[in-house]
Amino acid sequence: MLARRAPLFNFDITVWCVSNGQVTRAVAAQPLVQVNVPDSHERLALMIETSGADVVREHGLLTGEVMGLEVCRVLNDDAGDEARLEIGVGAHDRETFQL
């Protein structure tokens, strides 16, 4: 991933790979396959935004951030057929909020 991002800078960056004691120039990995956020999750985006958080769609996951800190996340419920909004900073905080 670093080798893929290096050309985006406005100066030269060389990324090296160390394997079995050998140092070689790293080969850029292929970009990840795009995964869209499910429609059932998108329905909660407006609520996140109107609550004051920035809506972030990344790797098929919809989250809300405040000043770059994730404060909520949309997940499927236990049955897997409906979306739910979990509030909290980190998995343990979200679990505590559900109590």
Give the E-state strand segments of 3-96 in sequence order.
16-19, 22-25, 54-58, 61-66, 69-76, 83-87
Q: Give the number of other CB atoms < 10 A from CB of residue 52.
A: 9
Q: Per-domain residue ranges for the chain?
A: 1-31, 32-99
**What's residue 49's pLDDT?**
97
What is the residue-level pLDDT of the chain in tens, covering all 99 positions? 788 888 889 999 999 999 999 999 999 888 888 899 999 999 999 999 999 999 999 999 999 999 999 999 999 887 767 899 988 887 777 777 776
Q: Is the pTM of this model over 0.75?
A: no
